[in-house]
């Protein structure tokens, strides 16, 4: 099924403003936060487009809180996000994959509704050196002033997200967003510097014989996953794996299929982070009509977080494909 094409010319900025227009009394239009994310996306895309030319690639030589080698662009993307979001009065706390602790910005006693923005500034950054797809993932929750420690305000289940999305830096720059009322997709037109809408209320195919996972870890997957893989290969499924969750999930949103990151010997609780990878991508997938699970009977968005950087197994994508995987677990 070919994705529908939105014939009207509608920009991300117009979509953001329409939220204000449609909800004049709401103090939750998120306009300023979403515009900060749009600016960040353009700035990061510009750096990535010229990466080899300005020798920004390569490791800065130290590791981040995840123990992963930080790419210079990781640091740069993180700085861009912190600076653009930090200036928005609506933002109480930012939490980044690149920062050990969330950054508490403000919680004025003015009674104003504020939000926490959690993000992975450059997901899949190891693809940068080889010009592979990389992405930014973001999740927005209401700041909970009642939390004893303000930082705990970021520890909310994915079902409490008010918005989520990703930016994919590939052959084109794609901004995909949900505010809980469907999925909108925009593509950056560099000639005018605007994100133009290409999908309104995107619905993913409910089945497609494609799976996406790192088969190098197969022997350490729990038996159920190995049995699923064996079955899928007997059914002549195709395998597609970009090594960047944003690129893999983007493909599945448009074409269908299932993405998996099971528990492995190296990552017994899964590798992907709950708060700023699995939750936002899970909200997008569910809003597009798919399923996002951590185990047979565990919906990702129902997990109550206990740590900022906690990890989770991930099975997400087309409803029928996810249900088939679960039937083997």
Q: Which of 85, 204, 244, 275 binds ligand P6P (CB under 6 A)?
A: 244
Quick check: 271 binds ligand P6P (CB under 6 A)? yes
Least distance in Å: CB of 305 to ligand P6P? 17
Q: What is the DSSP letter of 11?
A: B
Which segment (81-89, 142-150, 238-246, 250-258) binds ligand P6P by CB under 6 A?
238-246
Kindly report the number of other CB atoms within 10 A of residue 115's CB atom.
22
Least distance in Å: CB of 212 to ligand P6P? 9
Least distance in Å: CB of 192 to ligand P6P? 30
Least distance in Å: CB of 309 to ligand P6P? 12
All residues at 6 or more sequence positions from 285 whose CB lies less than 8 Å from its CB, including other chains: 204, 249, 252, 253, 291, 292, 316, 317
Please state the length of the chain.
329
Quick check: 116 binds ligand P6P (CB under 6 A)? no
Quick check: 74 binds ligand P6P (CB under 6 A)? no
Q: What is the DSSP letter of 9?
A: -
Residue 312 contacts residue 267 (beta carbons within 8 Å): no
Quick check: 292 binds ligand P6P (CB under 6 A)? no
Nearer to ligand P6P, 135 or 305 (CB): 135
Q: What are phi and psi of 33, to 5 degrees?
A: -70, -45
Least distance in Å: CB of 91 to ligand P6P? 24
Residue 270 contacts residue 221 (beta carbons within 8 Å): no
Quick check: 124 binds ligand P6P (CB under 6 A)? yes
Which segment (221-229, 239-247, 284-292, 296-304) binds ligand P6P by CB under 6 A?
239-247
Quick check: 317 binds ligand P6P (CB under 6 A)? no
Determine how β-strand 134-142 pairs with β-strand 173-178.
unpaired
Cα(288)–Cα(144) distance, integer angstroms: 28
Quick check: 250 binds ligand P6P (CB under 6 A)? no
**By CB under 6 A, how many residues form the interface with ligand P6P?**
9
Least distance in Å: CB of 247 to ligand P6P? 8
Cα(316)–Cα(302) distance, integer angstroms: 14
Nearer to ligand P6P, 86 or 222 (CB): 222
Q: What angle do CA 17, 20, 21 make, to 5 degrees?
A: 90
Q: How much of the chain is helix, strand and coil, in % rounded to 5?
A: 35, 25, 40
Quick check: 311 binds ligand P6P (CB under 6 A)? no
C-alpha distances (whole Å) from 28 to each of 16, 116, 206 are: 11, 12, 32
Q: Which residues of the chain form contacts with ligand P6P (CB under 6 A)?
A: 123-124, 126, 214, 243-245, 271-272
């Amino acid at each position: 099924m070919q994705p529908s094409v939105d014939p009207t010319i509608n920009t991300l900025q117009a979509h953001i403003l329409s939220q204000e227009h449609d909800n004049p009394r709401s103090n939750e239009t998120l306009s300023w936060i979403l515009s900060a994310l749009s600016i960040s996306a353009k700035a990061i895309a510009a750096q990535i487009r010229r990466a080899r030319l300005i020798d920004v690639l390569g490791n800065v030589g130290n590791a981040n809180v995840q123990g992963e080698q930080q790419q210079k662009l990781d640091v740069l993307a993180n700085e861009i996000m912190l600076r653009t979001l930090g200036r928005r009065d609506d933002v109480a706390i930012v939490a980044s994959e690149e920062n050990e602790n969330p950054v508490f910005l403000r919680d004025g006693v003015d009674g104003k509704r504020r939000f926490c923005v959690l993000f992975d500034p450059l997901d899949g950054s190891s693809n940068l050196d080889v010009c592979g797809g990389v992405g930014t993932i973001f999740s927005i929750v209401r700041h909970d002033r009642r939390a004893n420690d303000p930082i705990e305000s970021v520890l909310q289940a994915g079902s409490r997200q008010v918005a989520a999305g990703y930016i994919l830096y590939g052959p084109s720059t794609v901004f995909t967003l949900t505010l809980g009322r469907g999925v909108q997709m925009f593509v950056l037109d560099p000639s005018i510097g605007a994100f133009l809408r290409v999908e309104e209320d995107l619905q993913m195919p409910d089945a497609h014989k494609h799976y996406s996972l790192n088969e190098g870890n197969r022997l350490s997957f729990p038996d159920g996953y190995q049995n699923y893989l064996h079955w899928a290969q007997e059914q002549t499924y195709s395998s597609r794996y970009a090594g960047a969750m944003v690129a893999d999930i983007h493909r599945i949103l448009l074409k269908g299929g299932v993405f998996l990151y099971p528990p492995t010997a190296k990552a017994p609780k899964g590798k992907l982070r709950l708060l700023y990878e699995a939750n936002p991508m899970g909200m997008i997938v569910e809003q597009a009509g798919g399923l996002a699970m951590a185990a047979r009977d565990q919906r990702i968005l129902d997990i109550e977080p206990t740590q900022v950087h906690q990890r989770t197994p991930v099975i997400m994508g087309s409803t029928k494909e996810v249900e088939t995987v679960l039937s083997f677990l």
